């Protein structure tokens, strides 16, 4: 039998990650970054964390510091969207419009976060 050597994520791919909450008061955290490596169900990615602003309950704000995160892709604790390579990670932001919350680069790319249980 021939062994198939492929990975679910490849270095250079860009991802949007939603961390699942277990309890109502758990922080809402998202991450947008670029995969540096992937093995055994864990991605090493560099990018930015977005957290829900306590003063504005319906808007995520970008933390200013660039981070390298280990993301347990196969854990069931995160929802991962592969995003187009054309997206400039520096330009990603959240937009609240007509009661819908989108993650966007304000150009061609956009994801509706309500699709993932946002309320």
How many Å apart are CA 67 and CA 34, to the nearest integer? 11
Q: Is residue 49 part of a domain?
A: yes
Q: What's the total number of domains in the chain?
A: 1
Strand order across the beta sheet in which 110-112 lies: 93-97, 100-104, 110-112
Q: Is residue 94 part of a domain?
A: no
Q: Is residue 23 part of a domain?
A: yes
SS3 69: strand
Q: What domain range is 81 assigned to?
A: 14-86
Q: Is residue 44 part of a domain?
A: yes
| Prediction pTM value | 0.83
- State the pLDDT at residue 87: 95
pLDDT, tens digit, 9 for 90 and up, residues 38-95: 999 999 999 999 988 767 656 788 998 999 999 999 888 899 999 999 999 999 998 8
Contact between 85 and 14 under an 8 Å Cβ cutoff? The reply is: yes
Give the pLDDT mean for 98-112: 87
- pLDDT category, 1, cuts 50, 70, 90? very low
- Which of 84, 4, 70, 12 has its CA nearest to residue 41? 70
Q: Is residue 95 part of a domain?
A: no
Q: Is residue 78 part of a domain?
A: yes
pLDDT, tens digit, 9 for 90 and up, residues 7-24: 789 999 999 999 877 777
């Amino acid at each position: 039998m021939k062994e198939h050597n492929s990975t679910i994520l490849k270095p250079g791919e860009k991802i949007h990650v939603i961390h699942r909450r277990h309890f109502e008061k758990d922080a809402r955290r998202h991450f947008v970054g670029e995969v540096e490596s992937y093995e055994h169900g864990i991605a090493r990615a560099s990018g930015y964390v977005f957290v829900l602003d306590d003063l504005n309950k319906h808007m995520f704000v970008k933390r200013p510091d660039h981070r390298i995160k280990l993301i347990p892709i196969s854990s069931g604790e995160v929802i991962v969207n592969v995003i187009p390579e054309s997206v400039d990670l520096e330009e990603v932001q959240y937009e609240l419009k007509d009661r819908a919350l989108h993650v966007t680069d304000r150009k061609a790319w956009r994801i509706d976060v309500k699709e993932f249980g946002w309320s």
